[in-house]
Amino acid sequence: MSSKIDFEKTMEELEKIVEKMENGDMTLDESIKWFQKGMELSRLCSKRLDEVEKKITILLEDENGELTEKSFIEQEDINGV
């Protein structure tokens, strides 16, 4: 998969894996295989979210009432999130 993954499709696939594993009908080897696949998909989604987060900007109003553009990440750092 490329870095431009289809986030929604990948999340659906991850949800299906979780459902399979919750059924409890798998052997240990099958469970390990699906767990590994799920972790891979989870990392891809996380990476994609990080890429998108870097692109997001927000407008903030300063004390003079002027709007300034700041990156989403800068705002998170300021707010301690």
- Per residue, the 3-state secondary structure of 6-21, as one string, reads CHHHHHHHHHHHHHHH
Residues 37 and 50: their CA atoms lie apart, in Å, by: 20
Establish if 14 belongs to a structural domain: yes
pLDDT digits (tens, 9 = 90+) for 9-68: 999 999 999 999 999 899 999 999 999 999 999 999 999 998 888 777 777 777 787 878
| 70: confidence class by pLDDT, cuts 50, 70, 90 | confident
Establish if 1 belongs to a structural domain: no
Range of the domain at 65: 7-79
Domain count, the chain: 1
Establish if 2 belongs to a structural domain: no
| 77: confidence class by pLDDT, cuts 50, 70, 90 | low
Alpha-carbon distances, residue 15 vs 10, 34, 38, 61, 62 (angstroms): 9, 11, 9, 39, 42
